[in-house]
Amino acid sequence: MENNLNKYRNFDESRQEEEGGINIRDIIDFFWRLRWWIAGAMVVALSLAVLFVRMQTPMFQRSTWIMLNRNDGANTEFTILSEFTGRTLNKRIDNEVFILKSPSLLSKVVEDLGLNTRYYHYILPIGNSKIKHTRGFFARKLAEYYQDQPFTMNVVHDPLYPDAMHPSNIYVEFKHEGEGFKIRKMLVNGKKFDPGRSKYSYNDSLSLGGFALTFHVEDPEEMIKGDRYIATWNTPFNTAKGFLNGLSVDVQGKSANQSDVVMITMVDAFPRRAEDILNALVARTNKEARDYKNLSTLNTIEFIDSRLKEISDQLGSAEINYKNYQSSRVIVDAGSQTNMTLTSNMEYEKQLTEVQLQLQVLDMITNYLKETGENEYKVIPTNIGVSDAGLNNIIGNYNNLVAERNRMISNSSENNPRVLSMNTQLEDGKKSIELSVNNLVKIYNIRQRELEKILSTSKSKIATIPQQQFELQQLSRKMEIIEPLFLLLQQKREETQITMYGEADNFRVIESAFGPAAPVKPNSKMFYLLALVLGFILPPGVVWLRNQLRTKVETKADVEAVVDAAVLAVLPKSGEADYMLIPKSGRDALSESFRMLRANIQYLPNTKVLQVTSSVPGEGKSFVAANIALSLAHTGKKVVLMGMDLRKPVLPKIFKEVKHDKMQSVVGYMIGKVSSIDDMIFQSGVSSCLDLVFAGPVPPNPTELLAQGKQAEIISSLRDRYDYVVIDTAPYLPVADSSLINPLVDATLYVVRADYTQLRMLKEIDAVINSKTAPIRNINLVLNDFNLAANKYRYGYGEGYGYGYGGSYGYGYGYGYGYGYGYGEGDDKKHHHRHLIGKKDNKGPKKPESDKA
C-alpha cells in the first residue's frame, strides 16, 4: 500500500508540474472549447465594424510639399560671418513648422476662405437624388455642403456694440417653406435664442441685437420643401482650432537641421476644402513672412511717403508763389522782360519826338499863315515834315491854286474875275488848312500826353526791375533747393519698392496639394481586422478577467496552488436534492468520484479512523462523510459513521429513516445518560456494513464536553470494532471542537467547496496545516461541488475524474463567519448543503443491498 500511495503522489506531482508550466496543448484545448463563442464574437464584432464604417463620414487626405528658403535676403557680410564663426544665422525650420501649426495663422486662412460659416442639410430619405451622401443602404443623417450650398448666411455685427458683446458662435436650424423659411431652432453662444418670429422671407434681415443675419438664396428651386437645413457661424479662431485636429506638419528627412523640405497634410471631409486650406496656408505663410521681412522696408516707404507729401506741399507752395509773383508783376522772363521794357520805352520816346516834331511843324504852318496879310497869298512849304496826308493834300491844293493865281496875275491884273474867284478859293483853302492844323494839334497834344504818361510808367517799371529780379531769384532758389530733394525721395521710394518686391518667398512650393481619390478614414480594413482580433480575444479575455476578479475557489489548481496538501478527489456538482446518498451501482460522475476518493483513502497507510471537516459551515463535510462511509461499506468493510458535530448535527437529516433516541448519542454518553457504547450504535438502513453513531442534542457547551476527553473512549472502542471509523466533525477554523478530536484520528479529509470557499481562506488552511503547535494529522483535501458545465471551456474533465478538473476563472465576494453557540438552530438550507451534489433515490434512503465491493 505504501508503494501504491507513493506512486499516486508521484503521478499527482508530475501532473502538477505539467500544469504549472506552459502547456501548448492545454492552450489549444482552451481555445478549441471556446471556438463557438469566438466565432460568434468575431461575427458580431465584424458586423458592428461594418455598421460603424458605413455610418462614418469619409475623410480625405491632401498633402503639399514645400521647401524652406533659408538664405533669402541674407547679405554677404552676414553669410561670411556665419561661415567664420560657425553659428548659423539662417532661419530654423522647427520655428517655421511651429508657425505653420499656429491657430492664429490658420484663423486668417479660415477668414480668407470664409470657412467659419458652414452649411448642413438633414437627409431624411435614403437615396436623395439631389444630394448623394448615402453609402450602401445607410444614409447619413446630416450632410455638410462646401461651395455648393443652395443658400448663404451673412452675419453683420453692429459697430455700435463692443466686441465683447458680439456672439462667438451662432447656430440656426430652419425648414424651407415656399418662398421663405421657418426657424426651428436658434442658438447664440450655445444658449437658446428667440428671434421674435419664426417665419421669414429670404433676403430679410434678422436684427437680433448686436448683429444681424441675412439668408440669401440664388435659386429657390434648389431648396427642397420641408427639408431642414442648418447654418452655423463661428469665430475664425475657434473654427481654426477645429481644423487644426486634421492638420499635420512634418519635416522630411532624417534630421530637421539637414532638411529644408516640409510636408503639410490636411485631413478633411471635403478634398477640395483640404486643398484650399493647404494652398491658402502656404500663401498666407509667405505673405506673413514677407510682411515681417519687409517691415523695415515698409517703415522706410512710409517715412519717404510722409516726407514726399511734406516736400511736395512745400514745392507746390513755392511754385504757386513764383507763378503768382510773375502773374502779379507780369513777368515772363526777367532779362527779356527788361529788354522788352527798354525797347518799348525807346519806341515811345521816338513816337513822342515825332509827335513833338509834328506839333512844331504845325506851329510853323500856323505862324506862316498868320504872317501873311489879307489878300496876300504865299506858297506854304510842303517838305517841312508834315506827316498827315490830308493836310499835305490840302496844302498841295492850296499851293497849286496860289501858283495858278500868281501866273494869271502876271498875265493880267488882280481885278481879273478869275483872280478874284481864286482869291475866294484861296481864302477858303487857308481856312481849311487852319482848321486841319488845329485838329491835328489837338490830336498830337493828346498823343503827346499819352506817350509822356507811358514813358513815365515805363521809367518807374524799369526802376523796379532789379528788386523784382532779386525777389524772383529768391523764389526760384527755394524751388531749386526743394525740387532735387523731392526727386531724390521719389527715386529712393522706387528703389525701396523694387527691393521689397524682389524678396523671395519664405517657402517654395515643390508640389501643390495632392492626395488619393479614396478616403483615408475610416480605414475599413483596419477596423475589420481589429474587429476580428477583438472577436477572437474577447471570449478568452472575459474568461481570464473573470478568473482574475474571482474570490472563491473553483478548481483543484486553486487549492493546490496555496495549500500544502494533496487533493484526493474532486466531487462534481449535481442538481439533485440535498443530503442524498450515492447508490452502490451508480455510474454517474459523482459516484465515480466517490469511488476514486475511496480508492485513494484505501492507499493511505494505517488509516482506520478518518476525520471529515471543513473550514466553515456549508462546504459539504457531512455529505462527504456520509457518502465516503457508505462507499467504504460498499466494499464489504465494516464502517461506522460517527457524528461529532455537536453544534449542528446533520446526520439525522441524511439518515432520517433511522429512528433513534437523541440521548442515545455521543452527547448522551458524555453527560452520562448512556452508559454503554453499544446503545449508541444504529443500523444505517442503507448498507448492512454501515452503522451510525449520532451526535445527539445540541449542548450549550460543546467545547467543554469535548475537553473532558470521553470522545477518546468512544473512538477507541469503535476502532477495535470496525474496519473504518468516519467521524463528521464541526468546521475546523471557527471553533476548537475539531482540533480536540484530531489527535485521536489517523487521517483528516478537509472539504473545500467550489464556488463557496473563499480563496483567502486557503491561506488559513495552509497555516493550520503547517502549524507547529497543533498541526492537523495526515490532512488530505477534497474539492466538493465542482461545476463541470461551467468549467468545460477551461481545462476540461480529464481522466480519472479526481484529476481531471483543471484551472478555472471566476469571481466572488468577501467572507466571514461567526461560528459558536447556537450553531445548528438556524435555517439548515441557508447555511449548509444548499447545493450538495449527487443523485437522489426517489424512494428515500437505500436498503442494504450487498456487502460486496
Please report the pLDDT score of residue 374 as a whole number.
64
* pLDDT of 670 over the 80 cut: yes
The Cα–Cα gap between 259 and 452 comes to 97
Please report the pLDDT score of residue 816 as a whole number.
36
Please report the pLDDT score of residue 582 as a whole number.
87
pLDDT digits (tens, 9 = 90+) for 719-760: 999 999 999 999 998 898 999 999 999 999 999 999 999 999
Among 37-46, 136-145, 335-344, 844-853, top mean pLDDT goes to: 37-46
Q: What cell was used for 152?
A: 448663404
* pLDDT of 131 over the 60 cut: no
Q: How confident is the model at residue 455 (pLDDT cuts 50, 70, 90)?
A: confident
Please write down the HEC assignment for all residues of 229-259. EEEEEECHHHHHHHHHCCEEEEECCCCHHHC
Please report the pLDDT score of residue 493 as a whole number.
77
pLDDT digits (tens, 9 = 90+) for 564-602: 999 999 999 876 666 788 888 888 888 999 999 999 999
pLDDT digits (tens, 9 = 90+) for 290-337: 877 777 677 777 777 887 777 777 777 777 766 676 666 555 555 566
* pLDDT of 16 over the 80 cut: no
* pLDDT of 14 over the 50 cut: no
- One DSSP character per residue, 697-743 reads SPPS-HHHHHHTTHHHHHHHHHHHH-SEEEEEE--TTT-SHHHHHGG
As a whole-number percent, the residues of the chain with pLDDT over 70 amount to 77
Q: How confident is the model at residue 132 (pLDDT cuts 50, 70, 90)?
A: very low
**Region 152-159: what's the mean pLDDT?**
84
pLDDT digits (tens, 9 = 90+) for 469-519: 656 666 666 666 677 777 877 787 787 777 766 666 778 888 888 999 988
**Region 523-538: what's the mean pLDDT?**
93
- Strand-pair category, 180-188 with 199-201: antiparallel
Least confident segment among 42-51, 97-106, 352-361, 605-614: 352-361
Please report the pLDDT score of residue 576 as a whole number.
67
* pLDDT of 836 over the 50 cut: no
**Region 150-163: what's the mean pLDDT?**
82
Among 194-203, 329-338, 640-649, top mean pLDDT goes to: 640-649
pLDDT digits (tens, 9 = 90+) for 112-124: 999 999 999 876 5
* pLDDT of 4 over the 60 cut: no
Higher local confidence (pLDDT), 12 or 104: 104
SS3 assignment, position 35: helix
Please report the pLDDT score of residue 18 as a whole number.
46
As a whole-number percent, the residues of the chain with pLDDT over 90 amount to 30
Please report the pLDDT score of residue 2 as a whole number.
40
The Cα–Cα gap between 810 and 808 comes to 7
* pLDDT of 673 over the 70 cut: yes
* pLDDT of 853 over the 70 cut: no
Edge-to-edge strands, sheet with 151-157 = 151-157, 211-217, 205-207
* pLDDT of 645 over the 90 cut: yes
Q: How confident is the model at residue 89 (pLDDT cuts 50, 70, 90)?
A: very low
Q: What cell was used for 175?
A: 425648414
Please report the pLDDT score of residue 387 as a whole number.
74
Please report the pLDDT score of residue 838 as a whole number.
32
pLDDT digits (tens, 9 = 90+) for 794-816: 444 433 333 333 333 333 333 33
**Region 329-354: what's the mean pLDDT?**
68
- Ordered structural domains, the chain, with CATH: 2-59+521-549 (no CATH), 352-478 (no CATH), 566-831 (3.40.50.300)
Please report the pLDDT score of residue 322 as a whole number.
66
Please report the pLDDT score of residue 114 as a whole number.
92
Please report the pLDDT score of residue 367 as a whole number.
79
Q: List, in order, residues 6 or more apart from 676 with CB less than 8 Å away.
A: none
Please report the pLDDT score of residue 815 as a whole number.
34
**Residue pointed to by grid coordinates 451622401:** 133
Average pLDDT, the chain: 78
pLDDT digits (tens, 9 = 90+) for 702-713: 999 999 999 999
Cβ atoms 639, 612 nearer than 8 A: no
**Region 751-770: what's the mean pLDDT?**
91
Q: How many residues does the chain have?
A: 853
Higher local confidence (pLDDT), 820 or 140: 140
Least confident segment among 393-397, 534-538, 548-552, 809-813: 809-813
Higher local confidence (pLDDT), 317 or 97: 97
Please report the pLDDT score of residue 276 as a whole number.
94
**Region 142-165: what's the mean pLDDT?**
83
Q: Is 106 exposed, middle or buried (0-12, 13-18, 19+ CB in 10 A)?
A: buried
Q: What is the separation of C-alpha 432 from the centre of its chain, rounded to a whole number of angstroms?
A: 123
Bridge partners of 306?
none
pLDDT digits (tens, 9 = 90+) for 399-436: 888 877 777 777 777 777 877 788 788 778 888 888 88
* pLDDT of 846 over the 70 cut: no
Give this prediction's pTM. Answer: 0.54
Q: How confident is the model at residue 139 (pLDDT cuts 50, 70, 90)?
A: very low
Cβ atoms 552, 755 nearer than 8 A: yes
**Residue pointed to by grid coordinates 519635416:** 251
**Residue pointed to by grid coordinates 459697430:** 159
CB atoms under 10 Å from CB of 97, counted, come to: 17
